[in-house]
Structure 1
Amino acid sequence: MSADLIPQPNAPRPPRRVLYIEDEPLNVLLMTEMFRDQAGWQLQVEPDGASGLRAARQDPPPQLLLIDMNLPDMNGLQIVAALRADPATAQLPCIALSADAMPEQARAARAAGFDDYWTKPIDIAGMWAALEKLLP
């Protein structure tokens, strides 16, 4: 067996890439700060749906998307519909973020294709636990 094929137990793991589509500067600042000192995580922020869709289609794509439900150019339901319709992005885990805590809104988001629905303000400990489950 060549040395190239031997697993390296301490080899650095590539960062887990998260795309955050959000237009509110305060929310962006909060999420950026939450990710800043987290080893093994990389956050990319896009301010609107169009740029978020372009970023989701990068090669390689992000491993998970956090999507605000109310963006200046489209809503989260439109974004997740576009992602699910594209074979290149159809399987990406997508989490809806919204200040709307109404159960029917969460059900509608899940029915539209979101994997989960988180309400703002974000529970930081809960967010990290969920991210670790989604991207171990």
Structure 2
Amino acid sequence: MELLVATGIGALTAAGVYLLFRAQTFPVIIGLAFLSYAVNVFLFAMGRLAIDAPPIYSPDVKVYTDPLPQALVLTAIVISFGMTALIVVLALRGFLESGDDGVGARERADSESGRTTATDTGLEPGAAAASERGV
């Protein structure tokens, strides 16, 4: 059983890292979700859960499950859901503003037009505009 859980965590992590390196925003969002699922399963598996054992201590029960990993995973699920919703909204806004859902859309547009930005030259924004005009 441990091998199955470890393989599942490894597969989720590998898929998440692979999708993070894609050049589109939707695979990056799915990759982040896969990584959060992998962390949740890892936290849940590290809690050494006992089968048919209550999470609350009582004097008549000999074996009980530690409730802390369950609380951590539940909290992580809620936080990751909220963060995923925020990232989806930001990606949608970026797509609607730029017309491209590529991760490096601005850098590609600047390199295709041959323009240099202030961050490329290390100058302040006004100085970069002045250097383009030849001032």
Aligning the two structures, in what range does the TM-score lie when normalised by the shorter sequence?
Answer: under 0.3
Normalized against structure 2, the TM-score is what? 0.24
Which of the two has greater helix per residue? 2
Flag the structure with larger Rg.
Answer: 2
Which of the two has greater strand per residue? 1
